[in-house]
Chains A and B, each alone.
Chain A
Amino acid sequence: MNEPVITRFGNGQTLLSLPTDRFKTEYLTVQFATPLDDAAQALTATLAVMERGSTAYPSRLLLSRRLDELYSATLCTCNRKVGDMQVWGFSLDFLARRFTDDTNVLDAALDVLSGVLYHPFAENGAFRAEDTRIVTRELCDAIRAAVNNPRAYALAKCRKLLCADEPYARSLLGEEETFAALTPKALYECYRARVAPQKPFFFYAGAEEPAAVCALLEKHFTAIGDARAPYRAAVRPAGERREGGEQLPVSQGKLVLGFRANVTYGHPLDAALVVLNEIFGGSPASKLFLNVREAMGICYTCFSSLDLYKGVLMAQAGVESAHRAVTEAAMLAQFAAVRAGEITETELNAAKASLAFAYRQSEDDPSLLADIYINRRVAGIAETRTAWRERIAAVTREQIAAVAAMLKLGACYFLDGTLSAGEEEA
């Protein structure tokens, strides 16, 4: 699939689009980028309140039913971190016109979306108290429910340890203690200060011509702001290793090792870091999978993942607590092997093949493509994905060893499962 078409419209707006009739579902998203800071939690809550209704559809029930009428169009909130930015907004997916009774679903769905964004239901300078109460309660529950997923819980704890005192360590849901400050008035203030003035990133994948989509965006988005926060991502090597952990009454422990390097997108060794992650723990052909999971037979999950916008690599394993030390030693031994350049031709080729697969696989997922392209624009990356793919293919063993030398273990977190064997079978 080609690079997205860039079309300018209105007062300095830009639409990225992938004109295609390959899909029966079309996709449009409107996203914004603001600094990841103390207002992140309020912004998350504000988005949730906005999703509960607009002046045209003033309740979640009415909004939801309107979307059902539009052939089950889906309106979703986006909210994620890119570097030390919070990237957020709304997306729509809906049936292509050829599967409807010739309804222009895009036009109608944009009417709903623009209402949610620019005409939220508010009275006297505040959101409805009831909406705020429901949203803050649901977000509080979501924070508490993090423990329901021990793997994600341990990962978040290690990330926090690794990047302590940096915005990146912050959860987009925030902390329970600060929810009291999220009043209907405070959230509406957040809306006015953070949402309304921002300049959006638009992305569309579907059968309509870009010019026709731009015309609809101009029609519905009449109150677009022009603020655009500069990109930021504090990049630094890991400091001294930090230890963390806690005990929970679960059967399996979760070991997470957090590494970081001052290498992110744009660094000369960025592609090498991506290939390194793939070789270390990114696929079933990786060192962690083959040499720790398969060869030692003491863990079911053992893999690594990379956030290239932050230069943070996390390796994790689910192990019986008794095997913690031996697993940690084995994982670090595999990392040492990568660092020593002990990478076979087979490993290097498999890693590149896996990344080439992921690249082409993303072409089948417009929402994933949208996030990829928008992330790159947020971070100011001008390089095309094709050029990026070629750089990945050209990465050498020496470059991997060089970037491995910059990557340092900065945090180790262990969630200690305290259930004994007998209790497990109960």
Chain B
Amino acid sequence: MHETTRYQSDLLGEHYLCYRHPSGLPIYVFPKKLSTAYALFAADYGASDNILSAEGKPTLPSGVAHFLEHKLFANADGSDSFERFSALGADANAYTSHTRTVYLFSCTDRFDEAFSELLTFVTHPYFTEENVARERGIIAEEIRMCRDNPYERCYYNMLRGMYHTHPVASDVCGTLASVARITPETLYTAYRTFYDLSNMVLAVCGDVAPETVFDLADQLLPKTAKNAPVPRLSNKITPRVYRPRTAAKGVVARPIFSIGIKDTAVPSESAARVRRDACFSVLQEILFGPSGELYQSLTDRGMIAPGLATDYVISRDAAFQQIAGEADDPEAVLGEILAYIEKMRKTGIPQADFERCRRVEYAEYIKSFDSCEEIANTLLSFVMEGATLFEQAEVIRTMRREEVENLLCTCYRPEQITLSVVDPIGKGEK
């Protein structure tokens, strides 16, 4: 039996275990009796980690983390782990964000074999001139595809509006020019720097025996790790946005917009961060949710298309709110939003609205425990933030209206806000 820490939620009737592998790698298992099991192997390394030493030099070309994610599936015997997963009937994938790279699979059978494959390929890099050159072409097409996605373009312009050239706003895929500079040696350097087991996390959710997971990790992973400090960004985030407006043109029927609101008062302690995250969710539901007056008014007057998307992103490097949608006049929509916030600041948030939205938050929290994929991903996010998965329930239960009002009064200052718009390209325009 392995020595584990157990986390229990009586509300949900769920629990998960954490085992610390001798290398320092934390391994989380959330037993769940569904048909699909889901496993994630993550490196605390993303697109914004572009320095190789604490001094900040040298730097990596943008897009290296994502390129690595693509190429790690290649094996020294010429096989591809995607094919191996397919042969097992497992569905493998991977993704890169600004702060992490995640390799994953889901399966309904032969978990042990698929899990072994995950552990093996992530810990055995194999890059050659030939396979890297071929991947450049594939990634170039991914970059083009993303560039043609107006929503993604609008999002990145919003990030740059907030953070300018800071790595937290860099393109995850890189650019055609930066990808052309990536070589096998670049990938090995990045791998050696960031893919240390002490800088990684494993998370599994499904109808699996935790001891099996821990045993396989013991058998297949190195027992030791470098445990060297990982170089992190040192350039600070400024409280003001870089520029308040960014405009671009693209193939869209009507303008799409993305409002970014910088949050620079982020607490360092994980419990306080979880609380802030939950409070923002409730605040956004009150201000911009489909049961709110503002949303109804904007849609009924045709100022926005149905489906205003809101989010609060909190990561190790940055935190911000996003409000995105489609509108003929995004500037006017921003004006309406700010006027509504001002009105709410004066009148205060009605207790009934707060309670209704807190109930929505509670229900959404419970609902999120119906999917192994969602559980595993959320678990990963929480533990990489230094938090535990079940503490959110207590936060929602004890949340007070005053906390949410405090965010309302302090977090929408003009210098924190940027508006990114992609306008329709005119006929004959490029």
Contact = CB atoms under 8 A, between A and B. Distances in A.
Contact of B86 (A23, A150, A283, A294): A283
A102 interface: no
Interface string A409-426: 000000001110101110
Contacts of B282: none
Which of B108, B176, B305, B429 lies at the interface centre, i.e. has the most chain A CB atoms within 10 A of its CB? B108
Given A252-B148, A297-B136, A354-B89, A64 B290 contact: yes
A141 interface: yes
Interface stretch (B239-247, B295-303, B310-318): B295-303
B366 interface: yes
B134 A353 contact: no
B430 A419 contact: yes
B318 to A, nearest CB: 25
Contacts of A2: none
A250 B253 CA distance: 14
Contacts of A134: 299-300, 302
Contact of A24 (B133, B135, B366): B366
A250 B152 CA distance: 14
A357 B356 contact: no
A68 B359 contact: yes
B182 to A, nearest CB: 14
Contacts of A417: 144, 148
Interface string B90-122: 111000000000000011110000000000000
A298 B141 contact: yes
Interface string A199-221: 00000000000000000000000
A300 B141 contact: yes
B305 A250 contact: no
Nearest to A294: B80
A425 B256 CA distance: 21
Given A134-B300, A299-B141, A145 B148 contact: no
B251 A65 contact: no
Interface string B361-387: 011101101111000000000000000
A297 B251 contact: no
Contacts of B136: 297
A270 interface: no
Contacts of A341: none
B138 A145 contact: no
Given A24-B367, A285-B83, A423 B107 contact: no
A419 B144 CA distance: 10
Contacts of A299: 138, 141
B176 A421 contact: yes
B33 interface: yes
A318 interface: yes
Interface string A384-426: 0000000000000000000000000000000001110101110
A298 B87 CA distance: 25
Contact of A364 (B89, B369, B372): B372
B359 A290 contact: no
B305 A141 contact: yes
Contact of B83 (A130, A148, A350, A361): A350
A302 to B, nearest CB: 10
Contacts of B254: 141, 144-145
Contacts of A283: 86, 91
Contacts of A360: 35-36, 108-109
A346 interface: yes
B305 A145 contact: yes
A418 B430 contact: yes
Contact of B252 (A24, A148, A423): A148
B363 A284 contact: no
B148 A250 contact: yes
A284 B148 contact: no
Given A24-B367, A297-B134, A353 B291 contact: no
A72 B359 contact: yes
B139 interface: yes
Contacts of B291: 61, 64-65, 67-68
B367 A25 contact: yes
B252 A147 contact: yes
Given A357-B109, A419-B430, A300 B305 contact: no
A224 interface: no
A137 interface: yes
Which of B34, B89, B256 lies at the interface centre, i.e. has the most chain A CB atoms within 10 A of its CB? B89
A356 interface: yes
Contact of B141 (A93, A148, A319, A418): A319
Interface in B138-185: 138-139, 141-142, 144-145, 147-151, 175-177
A382 interface: no
A363 B290 CA distance: 30
B233 interface: no
A364 B299 contact: no
Given A22-B34, A24-B369, A421-B176, A300 B142 contact: yes
A233 to B, nearest CB: 30
Contacts of A318: 141, 144-145
A351 to B, nearest CB: 9
Nearest to B147: A251
A357 B367 contact: no
A131 to B, nearest CB: 9
A274 B144 CA distance: 31
A425 B175 contact: yes
A301 interface: yes
A55 B92 CA distance: 49
A76 interface: no
A301 B253 contact: no
A296 B299 CA distance: 47
Contacts of A24: 12, 366-367, 369-370
Interface in A51-106: 59-61, 64-65, 67-69, 71-72, 93, 95, 99
Which of A68, A95, A150, A151 lies at the interface centre, i.e. has the most chain B CB atoms within 10 A of its CB? A68
A147 B370 CA distance: 34
A420 B363 CA distance: 49
Nearest to B84: A285
A423 B109 CA distance: 47
B326 interface: yes
Interface string A131-152: 0001001100110111111110
Contact of A363 (B35, B356, B369, B429): B35
The 3 closest A-B pairs by CB, nearest first: A353-B89, A285-B86, A144-B253
28 contacts: A1-B35, A60-B296, A68-B291, A69-B359, A72-B360, A95-B367, A138-B299, A144-B254, A145-B254, A148-B251, A148-B256, A250-B251, A252-B141, A284-B82, A285-B82, A290-B80, A290-B83, A294-B80, A297-B134, A300-B139, A300-B145, A301-B141, A350-B83, A350-B87, A360-B108, A361-B36, A364-B35, A424-B147
Interface of B: 11-12, 33-36, 80, 82-83, 85-92, 106-109, 133-139, 141-142, 144-145, 147-151, 175-177, 251-254, 256, 290-291, 293, 296, 299-300, 302, 305-306, 326, 356-357, 359-360, 362-364, 366-367, 369-372, 425, 429-430
Given A149-B149, A252-B145, A294-B80, 20 more contacts: A59-B296, A61-B291, A68-B357, A146-B253, A147-B251, A148-B150, A148-B151, A148-B251, A252-B144, A283-B91, A284-B92, A300-B138, A300-B142, A346-B87, A350-B87, A357-B91, A357-B106, A424-B144, A425-B176, A425-B177
